[in-house]
Structure 1
Amino acid sequence: MTALTFPLTVDLKHVHLTDEQFYQLCINNPELTIERSAAGALIFMSPVGGESGNREADFIIDLGNWNRQTQLGKVFSSSTIFRLPNGASRSPDAAWVELSRWQRLTPEQRQKFPPLAPDFVMELRSPTDDLTMLQDKMQEYLDSGVRLGWLFNPQAQQVEIYRLGQAKEVRSLPTELSGEAILPGFTLSVEPFAD
């Protein structure tokens, strides 16, 4: 018997789940972390370990504390799935949506998977994540309208900065990141990741 490797992509070929069917699949299987590609393939993600989960939580806390002070938007965890304009349904490790964009959504849209691309996303590469797949996901976010994204790569002690309409910037750790005009006043000091 062959062991499963994650992420596991299941191409449904001739079966196309509607947004509602995909929503129900996720809600009825809360133990699974599922994303959907623009082509409709289901992507099953593995849970993260303690180190990755702790780093992710620290980043969300920092983003949340900044947002609590500024009240400029809404912060979301990796449990939130966003329906992107290209038809994909993705869940970044952390996300932020500017308040007026969030308020334009109907109560039902806010309750289910929000049909918009966040303004800002963070992804943290875990030991089981394929770097190229994450880089493609970051490009998909930009193509969908995300204005700023950070991809943390502990294995290379780097962070990749994605900006709408600009080339990717790669920085070695330690570094200090700025939320720029998207997250005004937000900074994040990133130390090298422990082995």
Structure 2
Amino acid sequence: MTAITFNLNNIIKLTDDQFYQLCRDNPDVKFERNALGEIIIMSPTGGETGRHNARLTAQFVFWNEKTKLGEVFDSSTCFKLPNGADRSPDVAWIKKDRWDALTSEQKEKFPPIAPDFVLELLSPTDSLQETQKKMQEYINAGVKLGWLIDRKTGRVEIYRPGKETEILQLPASLSGEDILPGFVLDLKTVWE
């Protein structure tokens, strides 16, 4: 099953609070909302994608526990981007000072902040073209570094503001560069 997008804008334009409540009232459904206000119903991941997502997220958590440089978020976290979109990357990271600048209420709901880093792991039901658009949306929103990983083809796309997308084939690891200082993502298990 692929993601389903539907537009209610001619009937009702959901406020941020209404969208948040829609998500809360339907916890078994993963929603996103694009910049046009269209609601996107995301299909659940399969076992392999979920297993790899967990392994990837764990590497970020272990690094962050050592460095204490920020906060790591899993795919269940929805962020309110500056363009009005509500997005849930598979892995996200925000620098500590930026996260600490949010109020308790902002942290509790959908944080109104673009992460510093995002990772999307393409699942068999994801559209490459739509995910590439989402990655560009993240960069346009202020994300400093983004990785799109396609396990099926072994392709990794690296997104940075103001630069062409860098494409790698079956890399063994990825550097967090100056955004995630000292972090190296081990990709060996992803390609298994």
TM-score range, shorter chain: over 0.9
What is the rounded CA distance, in whole Å, between the counterparts of 2:107 and 2:68 in structure 1?
A: 18
Q: 2:99 — aligned with what?
A: 102
CA deviations over 1:119-152 (Å, ceiling 9, x no partner): 0000000001000000000000000000001100
What is the rounded CA distance, in whole Å, between the counterparts of 1:106 and 1:66 in structure 2?
A: 25
What is the rounded CA distance, in whole Å, between the counterparts of 2:70 and 2:191 in structure 1?
A: 29
How far the C-alpha of 1:73 sits from its partner, in A, is: 0.2
CA deviations over 1:85-116 (Å, ceiling 9, x no partner): 00000000010000000000000000000001
Q: 2:53 — aligned with what?
A: 56
1:19 aligns with 2:16: yes
2:175 corresponds to which letter in structure 1?
S
2:3 corresponds to which letter in structure 1?
P
- Equivalence map 1:38-187=2 (5 Å): 38-187=35-184
CA deviations over 1:159-195 (Å, ceiling 9, x no partner): 111111111001011332000000000001213624x
What is the rounded CA distance, in whole Å, between the counterparts of 2:134 and 2:172 in structure 1?
A: 23
**SS of match in other structure, 1:171:** strand
1:116 corresponds to which letter in structure 2?
I
What is the rounded CA distance, in whole Å, between the counterparts of 2:151 and 2:38 in structure 1?
A: 28
1:8 aligns with 2:7: no
How far the C-alpha of 1:6 sits from its partner, in A, is: 1.9
CA deviations over 1:59-90 (Å, ceiling 9, x no partner): 10000000000000000000000000000000
**SS of match in other structure, 1:110:** helix
How far the C-alpha of 1:46 sits from its partner, in A, is: 0.5
TM-score, length-scaled by structure 1: 0.95
1:36 aligns with 2:33: yes
Q: 2:191 — aligned with what?
A: 193
% identity of equivalent residues: 53
Aligned length: 190
CA contact (8 A) 1:158 1:172 kept: yes
1:167 corresponds to which letter in structure 2?
E
TM-score, length-scaled by structure 2: 0.97
Runs of 4+ in structure 1 displaced over 2 angstroms? 191-194
Which consecutive residues of structure 2, in runs of 5 or more, have no partner in the other structure? none
